[in-house]
Each structure stands twice: as C-alpha cells, then as structure tokens.
Amino acid sequence: MKILTASQIKEADEITIKNQNISSEDLMERAATQVFNEIHKRLQGADLPVKIFCGIGNNGGDGLVIARLLMEHSYNVKVFIVNYSDNRSPDFLSNYDKIKNLSHNWPELLKGEDDFPEINRGDFVIDAIFGIGLNRPLEGWVAKMVNFLNASSAFILAIDMPSGLFSDKIPEEGDAVIMANFTLTFQTPKLVFFLPETMEFVGDMQVLEIGLDRDFLSKITPSAQLIGRQEAQNLYNPRNKNSHKGNYGHVLVAGGSYGKIGSIVLATTASLRTGAGLSTVFIPKCGYEIVQTALPEAMVLTDANYEMLTDIKTDLDADVICFGMGVGRDKSTVETFKELLKETKKPMVIDADGLNILSEYNELLQHLPENTVLTPHPKELQRLIGEWTDDFDKIRKVQEFIKKRKVIVVLKGAHTFIFEQENIYINNTGNPGMATAGSGDVLSGVIAGLISQKYEPLVAAVLGVYLHGKSGDISAEKLGYEGMISGDIAQNMGLAFSDLLSEKENGARAD
C-alpha cells in the first residue's frame, strides 16, 4: 500500500474532483460516510454519549458530516465547534447549515477554556479538529483543550490524523497532540503513523478507501510503501514440485563465541525453517556439540580456536553468508572478518557484532558486496551513521548512507523499515512479544534463507521481515506476548508461509 505525502494527497483530491466531475463537498460526504459506516458497524446503535469536536476547516467539515449521519441513526450526539479563527472553509459552512437544519440547533461554540464541556470516562470522543494540513504547533486555549481531552480518559477516535500531529515533522516536547485510541485515515496511511516518535499518538489505525482517482494513485511515486499480506503474496515464489535441496540454495552462517552459540542456532534454524536447501555453520570449537545436538539438520565447521572466530576459511560455495551474531569483537575476529569481506563477492546478511565491527572500522564499509543486507536495531544504526535529531533526520541519514554504500538497511522496530536507495518499505506485521533476546538473530536467518533461494536481496529483506513478523503474530496467539521467546518465531516460520499461501489460494485481500 502506497504511503503519500500531504501534497500528494491534496493533488489526488483535486484530480479526483476534476475527473469524477464531483464537488469537494461530495468527496467530503463520501469520506465521512466511510467513517460513519465503521463507527456504526462497531457501535450498532449503542446508547452512549458521542461528543464530536470539529475544527472550522475541512477536517471539521468531515466531523459535521459524521455527526449528521449519526444523528440520522438516532445516536446520542453532541457537536462542539472549536472556534480558533474567523476563517471557515466553504465545505465546513455548508455542513454547518445542514446540522442546524437537522437538529434545529446550532452546534455549541467553544471560544476558550471557560467553554470546555464535561467529558466522562465512558464518552466516545471524535477528534475532527485539525487534519493533515496542520503546519504549526497548537497554541493557547486550543492546545489546552487537546490536553484536556487527553486527560479525560474517554475513548478518542481521530479522523484522518490526530489533531496537533504534523505529516512531515516531529512535534517538539510539550506540543499538544491528541492521543488517539484509534485513527480512521483516508485512502492512504501517513508516514508519521509508523515512526517511533509519533506512532503513540495514532493508536490502532485503519485505512478507509474513499475512491480517489485510481489512475493517479497507480502512477504516483510514494514516499514509502506499507507491506501487508497482499504485498507479501506478490513477492512470494511458489516451489516447483520437481525440485531438490540444491534448488533452494546454501546458507553459510558464521559467528558465535563462547557463551553465545545460541544466536547461531537461532539464525540457522530460521534459515532452514524459511526454506534454505542447506545450511552450514562456521563457529568456534566450543559450539560444535551444541549445534550438532540442537540442530542435526545443519552441517558444522569449526574454527581452530575454541572460544572465538580467528580464521574463517572454507571451500564451501555458499549462496549467501550470514555473519555477526554473537561473534564478539576480539582483534583476531575483526581480522578474519576483514579477510572475509575482501574475498567474498556473494550477498551477505550482517547483524549484531558484525555491524559493530563495521562501525568501529569504517574502512571495511568499502568492501561490502553490493546489496549486502544490514539489520541494525536503532543503537547499532546510530553507531553506523551517527546521531540524528529526530526520526525524519534519521531517515535522511540512512538514505545518504545507503546511496554511498549501495547496501540495504533493515532497521528493526515496532514497524521495521527497509531502506533501499530512494525506496522505503514499512512492515505491518509483528507485536510486542517479539521484543525478546534473539529475535534479530532469527530475522537475519530468515533473510539469508530467502536469498539462498534466489530471491533478490531487497525482496528477501521485505518478504523476510513480513514473514518474521507474521510468525511472531502466530506465536503470540498461542503463547501471549510475555510467553514468547525467539525460538518460537523460528519454529513457526512454516505456519507464516502457510498463512500466506492459504490467503493467496482463497484470493483474500491484504490486511
């Protein structure tokens, strides 16, 4: 699913109005009707207080349409107009009159703190104050009102965007922003919904199709793409019945040190559970019996050193090398990693201490094979590219880094971001239970397993992150967030594939 900027969405609205020969008010009615349908589907006429706070622009106009439709279906609705300016949009004014004609009363006008209404814990509050066009922080009594709503403990539904949230920059500390429990957004999600610094304002989120011009949407270059089930299905390559293990490639997983062999078991298990035909591990001697016992399906090669890697030499013609998990940063390990980088031309997946070595010895970055996949968490990324001021600055710096190094960066998080040149892909699977030791080791093995099966590194990264998150979701359904460990994610990879295939066979749409 494409993620568009505010200016792209505005252009899409204008082209839709022109090509479909409708008015802006017609489009507003269409969009707000979709919101009403979702509310009505969930509330089913429940008798609870619905309090709608409308600004005086088009987001407020959306709120007025929603209010009118709820009133027509006998909901207990109270409308408040946040009167922060004398300027009103034409579509707001038109729907303002329609509310008066229906209810025979004007909505209640809020002009300052003295006008704040009573909000109770059981109220259903709809935020339609400011939309995607907001470009400056809320001030004065309006900011205080937003904080007042947040403190009310009422359920808050935001329309299109939580009021006070910007589409293209991060609010500063102390800025007033609605803390929504749920956001219903129009046509396309917004990038800020997925950034660590702003996603808490959005709550749960659903995208509503409002019929914007399909031709325009199909041709426009998005700021990012959200990866759900449908996108993952499009990336998946079904297996040929007439095949053998040699068709699905050979992964070499190199890493581990004394006390950290488990990370290699996790990554190698994941590579095999993702479908690699063969997986070989290269580890210090201390890990030999551990891996042979824990994972008899893997082949094992050992370094001459008992506790750490000092000399990675093998005549294996592996299709992909996965390096770094638990490997440590001893000088001899650094030296053998240098030699490995200089000698290999095959794709690589580099994680954990492999990333830390690259950060400490920047000259090694020039030896990375093109389209190497780096899988940092935020701290590892910071060591690689330096400090950033906010999430938008972080994105710019990652893009500069990958343009220079010609690599793919998988930035792990609640919504994992995959960066490749000018393209950004945002994953939409996964859950808090995956915040557990070894989850990243599993992800590296998943991506390596897909690359071995001849998926292009970018495709392997995007599909691998999706499947890794989906396996985590399946694990959470069985065990709960707290009960999950990373080995569960590796073990359930097959079920993640089955989920993908069953939905594809049924022709179901993505989440």
Do the annotations mark residue 415 as ligand-binding?
yes
pLDDT score, position 503:
55
414 is in an annotated binding site: yes
pLDDT tens figures, 445-467: 999 999 999 999 999 999 999 99
Q: Is the pLDDT of residue 507 over 50?
A: no
8 A C-beta contact, residue 470 and residue 496: yes
Report whether 431 belongs to an annotated binding site: no
Q: Is 328 annotated as a binding residue?
A: no
The pLDDT of residue 314 is: 87
CB 299 within 8 A of CB 231: no
pLDDT of residue 199: 97
26 is in an annotated binding site: no
Question: How far apart (Å, rounded) are the C-alpha atoms in residues 175 and 287?
Answer: 52
pLDDT of 506 higher than 70: no
- Give the residue-averaged pLDDT of 177-196: 98
Helix (H, G, I), strand (E, B) or coil at 211: coil
Work out the end-to-end distance of the chain between its first and last CA atoms, rounded to an integer number of angstroms: 10
Beta bridge partners of 301: 282
Residue 509: pLDDT over 50? no
Number of Cα atoms under 13 Å in the Cβ half of residue 205: 22
Check pLDDT > 50 for residue 153: yes
Phi-psi region of 74 (alpha: psi -120 to 50; beta: other; left: phi over 0): left
Cβ-contact 282, 303 below 8 angstroms: yes
Does the annotation flag 131 for ligand binding? yes
Give me the pLDDT at residue 197, please. 98
Q: How many CA atoms lie within 13 A of 439 on its CB side?
A: 25
pTM as predicted: 0.95
* Mean pLDDT along residues 230-251: 96
Q: Which residues pair with 51 in a beta bridge?
A: 78, 125
480 in a known ligand binding site: no
Cα(322)–Cα(264) distance, rounded to whole angstroms?
10
Q: Span 197-222, mean pLDDT?
A: 97
pLDDT tens digits, residue range 100-116?
999 888 899 999 999 99
CB 152 within 8 A of CB 123: yes
Q: Smallest Cα–Cα separation from 6: which of 217, 167, 195?
A: 167
Confidence of residue 184 (pLDDT cuts 50, 70, 90): very high
Question: Which ranges in 254-412 belong to alpha helices (H)?
Answer: 262-273, 288-294, 331-343, 353-360, 378-385, 391-405
Give the separation between CA 390 and CA 263, rounded to whole angstroms. 31
127 marked ligand binding residue: yes
Q: Is 393 annotated as a binding residue?
A: no
**Where does the pLDDT of residue 511 fall: very low under 50, low under 70, confident under 90, or very high at 90 and above?**
very low
CB 417 within 8 A of CB 464: no
Residue 282 has pLDDT above 80, yes or no: yes
Q: How many helices (H) and strands (E) does the chain have?
A: 17, 18
Neighbours of 118 (CB within 10 A): 8
Do the strands 423-427 and 224-227 form a parallel or antiparallel pair, or are they unpaired?
A: parallel
The annotation status of 377 as a binding-site residue, yes or no, is yes
123 annotated binding-site participant: no
Amino acid at 210: I
Residue 114 annotated as lining a ligand binding site: no
Q: Binding site annotation covers 413?
A: yes
Using one digit for the tens of pLDDT, what is the confidence trace for 15-33? 999 999 999 999 999 999 9
Counting Cβ atoms within 10 Å, is residue 175 exposed (0-12), middle (13-18) or buried (19+)? middle
Phi-psi region of 480 (alpha: psi -120 to 50; beta: other; left: phi over 0): left
Please tell me what DSSP assigns to residue 129. S
Confidence at residue 510, expressed as pLDDT on a 0 to 100 scale? 38
Q: Per-residue pLDDT for 504 more than 90?
A: no
Which residue in 312, 355, 347 sits closest to 452, CA to CA?
A: 347
Please give the mean pLDDT across all residues of the chain. 96
Domains of the chain: residue spans and CATH: 2-222 (3.40.50.10260), 232-506 (3.40.1190.20)
State how far Cα 34 lies from the chain centre. Answer: 24
Q: Which residue type does 341 have?
A: L
- The amino acid sitting at 45 is G
